[in-house]
Amino acid sequence: MSNQIIKIRRGTKTQLEGYGALSEGELGFCTDSREVFVGNGVENIFIGRALMGSYNDRPNAGYKGRFYFVTSGDNVGFLYIDDGISWYKANATSLTDLTGDLDQVNDGMTYGKVRNSELEGGKVKKLDDHGGNAVSAGEARSHLDNPNLHRTINDSSDGNTDLWSADKIKSEIHSAVKGLEWQDSVISRGETTPPVSPETGDRYIVGSGAVDAWANQTNTIAEYNGSTWAFYGPEIGWSVYVDAESKNYVYNSAQFWVRSGEANQTVNAGSGLTGGGNSDDITINIGGGYGITVNTDSIAVKPYQGLKVDGNGVSADVDNSSIILDSTNGNKLTVNNVDGGSF
């Protein structure tokens, strides 16, 4: 018996599309696209292998159930299915390709999920180390905010549960030092106009009638902090060294800065007495006696035994007869020859 060859209807894809629907159960083979279709009398149903190639080489959609796998170019790795109108992506290659919600993600080493009971408003409200230590976020916040358990930075208070910042501590120490009786030195005193270009730390004792930034700050110590002037009102007993005068000044109960007298004070003995620098007043107490009388504002010497006291001072009563002034020999007084006379 000779072999019989059975051939199915065949032709190009365009010819098949022009032909229309195959009869029910009738097969059709596209010689150009290598696709196999079976008809149902109404439409041709694709039953061949999945097509593959680049994304841009996909044939036009229109055959429901047909597959196409992208092997290169854009969307490589994706499998598409023809729904009769367009190509529909059938698989996912990353999380962004997935749809659904967190409850549809299984627990695992790579991806995990949070139970809905542990969420509130889309945010996790529970902390759990899986070692039996689990607290809610609210409990953790209450613990952190509890002043009896934790100290907080609060520069506006000095309560026993408050901490100060480093800048606040530095400022308080600086203010405390300024409150001591012994003060840092000042450049000068009595100035009434702030210097044009002060340096940080420059200090002055403000004079009466000061203007500009120093207005109404008489007798205060003005210190430049790098941007503005800070003023420290003096208290009785404050002592400060004035660089320009090389003198120490003390603030007294009469609200004046007065020289304390201990700095660079000298008294030189010589022809009389000389006071210290800057015409300091020197008081000398002289006791009376032995012909010297000390009055309130004068000293008197009593003349006696040939001494004469007048407006010119104290002098010896020299008559150049019995007593002679020897001016050529250092102004010495000598006794002349004394004639006792005859009997």
Share of the chain above pLDDT 90, in %: 22
**CB–CB of 80/89 below 8 Å?**
yes
Mean pLDDT to the nearest integer, 215-240: 92
154-168, 194-208, 275-289: the lowest-pLDDT one: 275-289
**Could you report the per-residue pLDDT of 87-131, keeping only the tens digit for each?**
888 777 676 776 766 556 666 666 666 777 778 777 877 787 777
The amino acid at residue 203 is R
Does the pLDDT at position 264 exceed 50? no
What number of other Cβ atoms are within 10 A of residue 135's Cβ?
Answer: 14
pTM for the whole thing? 0.34
Q: In angstroms, what is the C-alpha Rg of the chain?
A: 59
105-119, 207-221, 275-289: least confident range: 275-289
C-alpha 96/C-alpha 264 separation (Å) is: 87
Annotated domain spans of the chain: 9-96, 142-178, 180-283, 292-335
More confident residue, 243 or 307: 243
Q: Is 259 exposed, middle or buried (0-12, 13-18, 19+ CB in 10 A)?
A: middle
